[in-house]
Amino acid sequence: MELLKQRIRKDGTVKGNDVLKVDSFLNHQMDVALFEEIGKEFLRRFDGCGVNKILTIEASGIGIACVTAQFFHCPVIFAKKSKTKNIAGEVYTTKVRSFTHGNVSDVIVSTRFLGPGDKVLIIDDFLANGAALEGLIDLVSQSGAELAGAGIVIEKAFQPGGDRLRAKGIRVESLARIKSMSEETGVEFMD
Ligand code: 5GP
Categorize the per-residue pLDDT at 1 as very low, low, confident or very high, splitting at 50, 70 and 90: very high
With a 6 Å cutoff on the Cβ, whether 131 touches ligand 1 is yes
Q: State yes or no: pLDDT of 72 exceeds 90.
A: yes
155-165 per-position pLDDT tens digit:
999 999 999 99
184 in a structural domain: no
189 in a structural domain: no
Query: Cα separations (Å) of 168 from 96, 99, 161, 162, 187?
Result: 19, 21, 11, 10, 28
Cβ atoms of 108 and 88 closer than 8 Å? no
Cβ atoms of 159 and 128 closer than 8 Å? yes
Instruction: Give the residue, by CA position, lying nearest to ligand 1 atom 19.
Output: 19
Here the CATH number for the domain that contains residue 151 is 3.40.50.2020
Categorize the per-residue pLDDT at 140 as very low, low, confident or very high, splitting at 50, 70 and 90: very high
52 in a structural domain: yes
100-113 per-position pLDDT tens digit:
888 999 999 999 99
Bridge partners, residue 93, by sequence = 108
157 in a structural domain: yes
Number of domains the chain is built from: 1
Angle between helices 2-11 and 32-46 (to 10 degrees): 140
Query: Cα separations (Å) of 36 from 39, 70, 132, 154?
Result: 5, 9, 23, 16
Instruction: Give the residue, by CA position, lying nearest to ligand 1 atom 16.
Output: 128
Q: How many CB atoms lie within 10 A of CB 185?
A: 9
For residue 144, how far is its CA from the centre of ligand 1 (angstroms)? 27
102 in a structural domain: yes
Q: Which domain holds residue 106?
A: 2-179
190 in a structural domain: no
86 in a structural domain: yes
